[in-house]
Amino acid sequence: MIRIIRFLKDLKYLFKRFVLIANVLPVLFGFLIAWKYYGVSFSDYFVSLLLLITGSGMLVAGALACNNWLEADVDKLMERTKNRPTVTGTMSLRTVLWIGLSLSFIGQLLLLFINFEVAVYGWIGWFTYVVVYTIWTKRRVTWNTHIGSLSGAVTPLMGWAVIDPAIHVIPLSLFLIMFLWQMPHTYAIAIRKYDDYARAGLKMLPVVKGYQTTICRTSIYIALLIFVPLLINDMSPAFYILLSLLNIAWLMIGIKGFRTKDVKKWADQLFISSLIYLVGVYTLYLIFV
């Protein structure tokens, strides 16, 4: 029993449970928004929904495990990653790699059972996160965050594509929101964990360019979010008004960074507000679509 509990605890850190949930939820919301938009029967897509949740969950978990395997050396240097099994030694690197690749393969296969488009979006997310982000850019350039954001931005497309092709203004607008949103969100994390990233030598924007540049970029990306709703032309006025107010409120928090005396406290506020913002966005889409 103790071994089982310890194994489950290791999996919690290996799969970064909150990151896992945060990546699967937009997939689910993408499906629900498409389901409501087209007014299709839920029972007709019940099996596909189960495959979607299970497949995307396994694919994300596999990607996160592969990330752990690839970053075992730098994880040893950071406080935030000290409990990962690749650091504590409770799992061998070979075991972690095996888990990562196995889950990735099975998850990708389950998505393929739904349709080819869903599987393609899943593959794009996995490849950009594991290969382009983790291997090629995270240790070399500050724009690694853009790559990581691209990986997360495909999640609502996966959910929508279960019902209809995602080359549609609504899922594409969600893609843009997810991409732009992840920049300030990730910058907030990088500021909060500045010492860890600096110690590990990872090229995060606050570490390389400083706080002021990061605050400036944060405000720019939040400001760009204000224009995304303009791409949609068939929502009610209430949708545009409420989403605009949500965007402006978050922008005010971003701009606050220019005059703050405690950057890390501001980063905490930015991080929490980023979660509230994203939940608000998906709620508005689901209500008004």
DSSP string covering 123-173: HHHHHIIIIIIIIIITTT-TTHHHHHHHHHHTHHHHHHHTTS-S-SHHHHH
Residue 130 backbone dihedrals phi, psi, to 5 degrees: -75, -45
Instruction: State the burial class of residue 89 (Cβ atoms within 10 Å of its Cβ: 0-12, 13-18, 19+).
Output: exposed
Predicted pLDDT of residue 1: 64
What are 51-63's pLDDT values in tens digits? Answer: 999 999 999 999 9
Q: Count CB neighbours of 108 within 10 A.
A: 18
Predicted pLDDT of residue 172: 97
Segments in the chain forming alpha helices (H) = 2-14, 17-38, 46-70, 72-75, 85-88, 93-114, 116-127, 144-153, 155-161, 169-192, 194-200, 205-209, 211-225, 237-255, 263-288
What are 110-158's pLDDT values in tens digits? Answer: 999 999 999 999 999 999 999 999 999 999 999 999 999 999 999 999 9
How far are the Cα atoms of 28, 170, 181 from residue 48, in angstroms, in the given order?
11, 21, 28
The average pLDDT across 179-194 equals 97
Predicted pLDDT of residue 163: 98
What are 232-256's pLDDT values in tens digits? Answer: 888 999 999 999 999 999 999 999 9
Predicted pLDDT of residue 2: 62
DSSP string covering 94-127: HHHHHHHHHHHHHHHHHHHHH-HHHHHHHHHHHH
Say whether pLDDT at 79 is over 90.
no
Say whether pLDDT at 210 is over 90.
yes
Average of per-residue pLDDT values in the chain? 94
Measure the CA–CA gap between 25 and 155, rounded to whole angstroms.
Answer: 8
Q: Count CB neighbours of 286 within 10 A.
A: 14
